[in-house]
Amino acid sequence: MIPYEVEYVRASSVQDALSLLSGDADAKILAGGHSLVPMMKLRLARPSFLVDIGRLAELRGIEVHPDRVSIGSATTHAELAVDSRLKTLAPLFALVGQVIADPAVRNRGTIGGSLVNADPASDWPAAVLALDAIMEVAGANGSRRVPVRDFFVGFMASAVRQDEILTRIHIPLPAAVRVGYRKFRHPSSGYAVAAAAVTLRFDGDKCLGGTIGITGVADMPFRAYAAEALLAEGFAGGVDEMARIAAAAFDGVAPLEDSFADAGYRLQLGRVMLKRALADACAGNQAGTTCSET
């Protein structure tokens, strides 16, 4: 479908972009375009004014600080997948970046665009939830930091207001070394029909606990706190333990139901993906994805 007529401006800086946003209540931020433009083609989004921030150097790149890794919101999926520092300091980020969609999307799409779009089937929400990320959001009155637990507020809705810009994603250090990410992907779009991100903390061979982020299953991504409580009680990687943890993760969850999976099937996929991600993390490897053809 051909997009409707829309005004386009390339911002010269973050402050310029904020000024442009404040002048039009229907304005939208454009970064890589792989989330917004398809929605515009389908008339699911109808902005009258696009503010392009995709080429702003101040929103790109990865910075390492003593207490955190800071990622610019306009950094592409591909850049995150290959960064050697992330592979060492926050391996879950590098792992997830490798299995998003296809090379064309990974080279153009941005982490910030994906997170603000808050699609319940996208990959990054599971990762940032599992890593307790902090989102830095800029507005006309300055910047504010939003804990990731407060960032996703509904179906395809984030805490970033229309006149604000997500500028950076902060990952606290040290991030867990043992991680896993598994998703059952739609073969065409690459979106997650169900996916789970896991981090585990170890002292020697003893698991001290971990975090679990889920995407693709419900109308918004979520942390599986009940399952994390079981991890904190002691986790040795047993099959029965994984089954209990997976059951707890989805207890009370209202699953999405669509042409890709009915409610019961999607819940079962979520449990299976979580058990596989737990096994990967417990073993210390970083296997990433299972395809829907398998």
Q: Which amino acid is at 138?
A: A
Confirm if 228 and 242 have CB atoms less than 8 A apart.
no
Percentage above 90 pLDDT, the chain: 76
Which domain does 102 fall in, by range? 57-172
- What is the distance between the alpha carbons of residues 1 and 119, in angstroms, rounded to a whole number? 21
Three-state secondary-structure class, residue 86: helix
H/E stretch holding 36: helix 36-41
- What is the distance between the alpha carbons of residues 97 and 101, in angstroms, rounded to a whole number? 9
Q: Which residue has the tokens 């990622």?
A: 71
CATH code (residue 220): 3.30.390.50
Is there a single domain that holds both residue 182 and residue 273? yes
Taking only the tens place, the pLDDT of each residue in 204-229 is: 888 899 999 999 999 999 999 999 99
- Tell me whether the omega of the peptide bond preceding residue 174 falls within 30 degrees of 0, making it cis: yes
CATH code (residue 89): 3.30.465.10
Confirm if 279 and 174 have CB atoms less than 8 A apart.
no
Per-residue confidence at 285, pLDDT binned at 50, 70, 90?
low
Question: Average pLDDT in the 98-118 region?
Answer: 91
Is there a single domain that holds both residue 153 and residue 187? no
Number of structural domains the chain divides into: 3
Give the pLDDT confidence score for residue 11 in this predicted structure. 96
- Of the two residues 285 and 89, the one the predictor is more confident about is 89
Q: Which residue has the tokens 């099937």?
A: 265
Give the pLDDT confidence score for residue 290 in this predicted structure. 42
Confirm if 22 and 163 have CB atoms less than 8 A apart.
yes
Give the C-alpha distances (Å, rounded to integers) separating 36 from 3, 129, 142, 253.
11, 22, 25, 28
